[in-house]
């Protein structure tokens, strides 16, 4: 069977790590596209020259010509500006919407059957725009945010409890902004509720709540924390790893249940918007959105997050983007 082909649009920080991870996992052949002359060619040459050392067989090439993404099975999009300190993701709306429009037109032309994973910010708006311009079925257009936000939440829980992060299950729903909703009640360590473990650790329910609140707040602001430290851009290793988990689920038809930015048709009481929710990912893209029961507090947090997504999409439409 011929190897699958993944086209990466945007050869910056995330695009480079994506290329390396796909090659090391021998997930597919890679075409890395960027508008900057020679940049994707340089990055892919550098990564290819590690193939003997890493022991991978994959064709990886860089290009400035959209035609080369022809017939890609999967497209991962990181084209656009990242945040700098002091910026919110929404500040990127105008610049990145223009970039996303041109990317969507090219993907529609050259890879009309691909499944597309969007990473560019502001995420929920960029996914919405990409789907609108391409006209692709909603199930084939997915945003990456929840896998990363959930991994950040799980990491903080593992550090706090002194357990292996491999045993921590934690999920974050909602839009990819400050209103995201880390689901405390569902967080567990191999089935044991995290709140129960915190209460045991501190022998004090109030203190346990405070510790959890801190982790929730840190999760919501985790992207900004990295931006502040890096100063020149935003996180790129963890966003790339997160998108690879999604890409692998699609390429290998794994039917993984992951929190992703998916189009809602009434699920969670939301109609006609892309929002972060648990979904089954397989070769057809989002194969099913998984609903879960939420208590009032979680519902109203998710509602506020959906409102933030709606107002961002409305801004985009008002600006004619």
Residues contacting residue 102 through CB under 8 Å, at least 6 positions apart: none
* Rounded distance between C-alpha atoms, residue 259 and residue 247, angstroms: 13
Which lies closer to ligand A3D via its Cβ, residue 81 or residue 165?
Answer: 81
- Give yes or no for a contact between 78 and 119, defined as CB atoms under 8 angstroms apart: yes
Query: What's the distance, CA 220 to chain centroid?
Result: 14
Does 174 engage in binding with ligand A3D (CB under 6 A)? no
Q: Is 79 in the site for ligand A3D (CB under 6 A)?
A: yes
Among residue numbers 99 through 138, which ones bind ligand A3D (CB under 6 A)? 99, 102-103, 119-121, 123
For the chain, helix, strand, coil in percent to 5 are 50, 20, 30
Binding mask 239-278 for ligand A3D (x = CB under 6 A): x---------------------------------------
E strands, the chain, where?
Answer: 5-9, 29-33, 60-63, 74-77, 115-118, 141-143, 168-169, 172-173, 181-182, 188-189, 192-193, 256-265, 271-282, 285-289
Among 77-85, 187-195, 291-299, 304-312, the segment contacting ligand A3D (CB under 6 A): 77-85
Q: Which is nearer to ligand A3D, 157 or 261 (CB)?
A: 261
Task: Give whichever of 81 and 163 is closer to ligand A3D, judged by the CB atom.
Answer: 81
Indicate whether 96 belongs to the interface with ligand A3D (CB under 6 A): yes
Least Å distance, CB 200 to ligand A3D, is: 33
By CB neighbour count within 10 A (0-12 exposed, 13-18 middle, 19+ buried), where does 231 fall?
exposed
Q: Hey, which residues between 7 and 26 contact ligand A3D (CB under 6 A)?
A: 9-15
Q: Pick the catalytic residue: 176, 226, 264, 282?
A: 176
58 binds ligand A3D (CB under 6 A): no
How far apart, in Å, are the Cα atoms of 144 and each of 77, 160, 163, 276? 10, 26, 26, 9
138 in active site:
no
Instruction: Answer yes or no whether residue 172 interacts with ligand A3D by CB under 6 A.
Output: no
Active site residues: 176
Binding site for ligand A3D (CB under 6 A): 9-15, 34-36, 78-83, 92, 96, 99, 102-103, 119-121, 123, 144-145, 148, 176, 233-236, 239
């Amino acid at each position: 069977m011929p190897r699958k082909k993944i086209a990466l649009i945007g050869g910056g920080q995330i695009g480079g790590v994506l290329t390396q991870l796909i090659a090391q996992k021998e997930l597919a052949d890679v075409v890395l596209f960027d508008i900057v002359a020679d940049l994707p060619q340089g990055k892919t040459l550098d990564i290819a020259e590690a193939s003997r050392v890493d022991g991978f067989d994959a064709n990886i090439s860089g290009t400035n010509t959209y035609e080369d993404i022809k017939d890609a099975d999967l497209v991962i999009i990181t084209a656009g500006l990242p945040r700098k300190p002091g910026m919110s993701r929404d500040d990127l709306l105008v610049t990145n919407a223009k970039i996303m429009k041109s990317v969507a037109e090219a993907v529609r032309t050259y890879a009309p059957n691909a499944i597309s994973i969007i990473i560019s910010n502001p995420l929920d708006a960029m996914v919405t725009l990409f789907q609108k311009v391409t006209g692709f079925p909603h199930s084939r257009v997915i945003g990456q945010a929840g896998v990363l936000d959930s991994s950040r939440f799980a990491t903080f829980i593992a550090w706090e409890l002194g357990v292996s992060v491999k045993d921590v299950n934690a999920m974050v729903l909602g839009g990819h902004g400050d209103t995201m909703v880390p689901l405390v009640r569902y967080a567990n360590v191999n089935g044991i509720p995290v709140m129960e473990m915190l209460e045991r650790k501190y022998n004090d329910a109030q203190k346990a709540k405070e510790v959890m609140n801190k982790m929730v707040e840190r999760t919501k602001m985790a992207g900004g924390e990295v931006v502040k430290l890096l100063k020149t851009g935003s996180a790129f290793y963890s966003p790339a790893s997160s998108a690879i988990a999604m890409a692998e689920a699609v390429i290998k038809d794994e039917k993984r249940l992951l929190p992703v930015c998916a189009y809602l048709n009434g699920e969670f009481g939301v109609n006609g918007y892309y929002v972060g929710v648990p979904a089954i990912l397989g070769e057809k893209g989002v194969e099913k959105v998984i609903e879960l029961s939420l208590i009032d507090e979680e519902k109203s947090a998710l509602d506020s997050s959906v409102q933030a997504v709606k107002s961002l999409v409305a801004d985009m439409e008002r600006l004619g983007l």
